[in-house]
Structure formats: C-alpha cells, structure tokens
C-alpha cells in the first residue's frame, strides 16, 4: 500500500515526497498535468487530475494506507467562491475518500484559522492549539476557507468511522518556496528590508523539511480516539 499526497508539487508537498522517498517509500501524487514532471522527479507516481473532481480521487486512491492532503489555494486573486471550491471542496472529497478506503487522512491546515489580526491586536504570546478561534477578516479568503475546511474535518471526525489528523503550520520557508522566501531574498538583494510595525515584531517561521517530518511523525503515531 502507498501514501497519496495532494499538493505534492508545492513547498510542503515536495518535502513530504522527499521524506517518504528517503525511507524507501514510493508515494503517489495527485497533480495537474503541468506538475507531473516535478513529482516524478521526486520519485512519486503521478495521477493527473484535480482535487475537486470525484473521479480523480477514485483513480488516485486505489490501495492507499494514508492521504496527505496539502493541496490548497494560498496566495491568489481568485474569488471567495473559488477558494471555497478548492480548499473546502477538495477537503470534502479527501474525507469521503478516507472514509471509503479506510486510509488515515493527514489534513494540512494553517495557523491562519485562529484569526491572525485579532490575535496580534490582543498582543497574545505563545498561543497553543487550544486557543479559541477569533473573528476573521472578510477579505481573508484563504483563512476563511481553511477554517471552513478544518471545521468540516472536525465534524466528520466527530461522526466516527474515519481517521483524521490536522496540523497547523505557521509561515513556511525553504527550498522551492515561491512566496515568503523568494520575496525576502529579493528585498535583501536590493539592499533593504521594509520595516513592519515598530520593527520589534516576532514572526514564527518553520522550515518545510521540519513540517514534512512532523507530518510523517503524526502519520506514524498510534491513532488516539476522541473521548
């Protein structure tokens, strides 16, 4: 049996593929056609399709023991409906697939679900996973859609009959990062870095390879049932 990875050509996905390959596994990747060569270069079996397509999931999830669902719209100018279609709709199909196949689902969420602006304004420090969700800005389509996706995961887990783990990484950097790291390096090469706020702000960042290690560690851990 194998591990199916969505979003496998992205920052987290490629590091997950690397980590799986390093321990002798050949994962399967659900990707669009233009990403086929990328995932194959990391030793994955490519299944071409879309995470919002039920037929694609049925083709991709044959004989899988686990699903690592990392596919999502992140930084995009798309509408809220499109964020919802991909981030919530894709997660719904991942859950249905996990329930049908008995595979363990690793849902890659984000700390954005907490309500970043409200947390910063309150001056909170050292937030834990139990910190209550705060109000999200209407224009933060990413955070709103990811919270809706995670709430769907929680609802389905509460129903029983499906094994799910969700992790919430913060700002991720590392090789093949097309967002945070690229912008930071571009500014440094120009000889300046904009000051945000008073210049004393702290931003929690995590290396993509460490995120991949955490995902596999959670995947390998014994499943604990909710009480």
Q: What is the reported pLDDT for 98?
A: 97
Answer yes or no: are the C-beta atoms of 95 and 156 closer than 8 Å. Answer: yes
Reply yes or no on domain 2-220 having CATH 3.40.50.720.
yes
Average pLDDT over residues 75-103: 95
- DSSP per-residue codes, 92-145: HHHHHHHHHH-PEEEEE--GGGG-HHHHHHHT--S--TTSPP-PPPTT-HHHHH
Q: What is the reported pLDDT for 125?
A: 62
Output the average pLDDT for the chain.
Answer: 89
Query: For residue 61, what pLDDT band results from cuts at 50, 70 and 90?
Result: very high
Return the domain boundaries, the chain. Answer: 2-220
Q: 139-195: per-residue pLDDT in tens?
A: 999 999 999 999 999 999 999 999 999 999 988 999 888 777 777 788 888 887 777
Query: For residue 227, what pLDDT band results from cuts at 50, 70 and 90?
Result: very low
Q: Which one-letter DSSP state was computed for residue 168?
A: -
């Amino acid at each position: 049996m194998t591990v199916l990875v969505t979003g496998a050509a992205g920052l987290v996905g490629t590091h997950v593929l690397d980590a799986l390959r390093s321990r002798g596994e050949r994962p399967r990747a659900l990707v669009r056609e233009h990403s086929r060569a990328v995932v194959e270069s990391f030793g994955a079996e490519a299944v071409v399709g879309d995470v919002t397509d039920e037929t694609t999931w049925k083709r991709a999830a044959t004989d899988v023991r686990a699903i690592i669902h990392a596919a999502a719209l992140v930084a995009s100018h798309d509408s809220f409906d499109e964020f919802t279609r991909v981030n919530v709709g894709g997660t719904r199909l991942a859950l249905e697939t996990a329930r049908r196949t008995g595979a363990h689902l690793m849902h890659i969420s984000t700390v954005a679900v907490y309500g970043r602006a409200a947390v910063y304004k309150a001056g909170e420090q050292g937030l834990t996973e139990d910190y209550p969700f705060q109000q999200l800005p209407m224009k933060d389509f990413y955070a709103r859609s990811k919270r809706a996706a995670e709430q769907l995961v929680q609802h389905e887990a509460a129903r029983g009959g499906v094994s799910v783990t969700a992790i919430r990484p913060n700002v991720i950097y590392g090789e093949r990062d097309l967002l945070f790291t690229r912008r930071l390096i571009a500014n440094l090469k120009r000889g300046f870095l904009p000051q945000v706020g008073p210049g004393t702000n702290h931003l929690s960042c995590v290396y993509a390879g460490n995120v991949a290690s955490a995902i596999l560690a959670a995947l390998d851990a014994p499943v604990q049932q909710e009480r």
